[in-house]
Structure 1
Amino acid sequence: MTVVAAVVVLVIVLTSGPDTSTADGAAKAAVTAFADKDTKALTALLCSGASNPLDQVAPSPLVGAELGAVRPDGADNAVAEVSVTYADSTEPTEMGLARENGRWCLAWFGN
């Protein structure tokens, strides 16, 4: 019985995606996917009709990104501060999050 329980827990952990039940969780997942240049993960986090922020990256190579504060902007929206690092500069920007179909998603990226 213990082995079965351990297997069930392992399957749940390995197959579960990012925590998009909160704006903070969705923001963390989006910034991680953006910094890792993980188009597949980022696409899965996009709200309907939103464009992939990796398509907007400046000509200088993307080095990474760091999440700042996430603040509510109404009941179903939030804005997150993001610091994007390129090979030759660091740019502060924001991203918008929205609650859509019971989960938080990335609605927009950039000022």
Structure 2
Amino acid sequence: MLKHVSFLTRELSTTLAFYEQLGAVTEKRVVTSEGYGRAVLSLGGGRLQLFEVAGEMPQPHPHWAEHIAIHVRDLQQLLPVLRDAGVRVTRDLQLSPGGRDMAFVLDPDGRQVELLEAD
């Protein structure tokens, strides 16, 4: 069973706001003993852990195969809201292989995020 996925971020507040807009709930936000901002978000049974780092950060791979997938409700309504907020859509609304609406967007740090219509 997956415990969590952990990512680095340049701006914790901006990245938290992005994932909260997708339905995540921030469970914990602290500063580690090393001085990093850390947050844990709940995403429908899974967890996403974010660490804020200063300076240069490795770039995510631009290909869609490396991504986090999130079930969301009302994807057809959410996608225009995200676009209006400046979120870059990298794969427009289409049917997934399983027959659900899906799209890919970039999070504030350039990671691919698959949005998949929830049941």
TM-score range, shorter chain: 0.3 to 0.5
Decide which structure has greater strand share: 2
| Structure number, greater radius of gyration | 1
TM-score (norm 1): 0.32
Decide which structure has greater helix share: 1
